[in-house]
Amino acid sequence: MISDSTKARFAKEVAKYPAEQKQSAVMACLAIVQHELGYVSADSEAQVAEYLGMAPMAVHEVTTFYNMYNQRPVGKYKLNVCTNLPCQLRDGVSTLKYLEAKLGISMGETTPDGLFTLQQSECLGACADSPVMLVNDRSMCSFMTPDKLDQLVDGLRAAGDK
């Protein structure tokens, strides 16, 4: 079930569009679901579909088309490292490799404790900040030298559930 507080967030998005175009809010609603639950399940898709008056398949089409929607659970912290050409020229790939070694996983994998998922990503739109990574879809981290990567990973580990 969608909670009242989530419904309030949905309503704010729906209000941006003409009354007969509620579907326009689907991207935002799915992003809200992911923000609250960590991923977009088939159940969540069905609930969003019902809320917006869409076919569940039309919602699924959106979830599967856009790269940032997690279609299955990911670690508590999803780390997306840009390795596109401008970042490749400024240590983007070595940043990804550094994290692979530090976390003991390959890109695309999640640490056994469920804390970190590591992914390669396409252009984040912050090329001058390279090496750059996006954490949990919403926090861009810039100029990520090995020192800073240590601080970030060690800090998040220590933060635990806080």
Summarize as ranges the residues that interact with another protein (CB under 8 A): 16-18, 21, 23-28, 30-31, 52, 54, 58, 61-62, 65-69, 77, 83-86, 88-91, 93-94, 97, 121-130, 134-135, 137-144, 148, 151-152, 155-156, 158-159, 162
**21 close to 36: Cβ distance less than 8 angstroms:** no
Q: How far is the CB of 24 from another protein (least distance, A)?
A: 5
| Closer by beta carbon to another protein, 43 or else 151 | 151
Which H or E element spans position 135? strand 133-135
Q: How far is the CB of 138 from another protein (least distance, A)?
A: 4
Backbone angles phi, psi at 141, to 5 degrees: -115, 125
Tokens of 135: 């954490």
| Closer by beta carbon to another protein, 3 or else 65 | 65
**137 close to 78: Cβ distance less than 8 angstroms:** yes
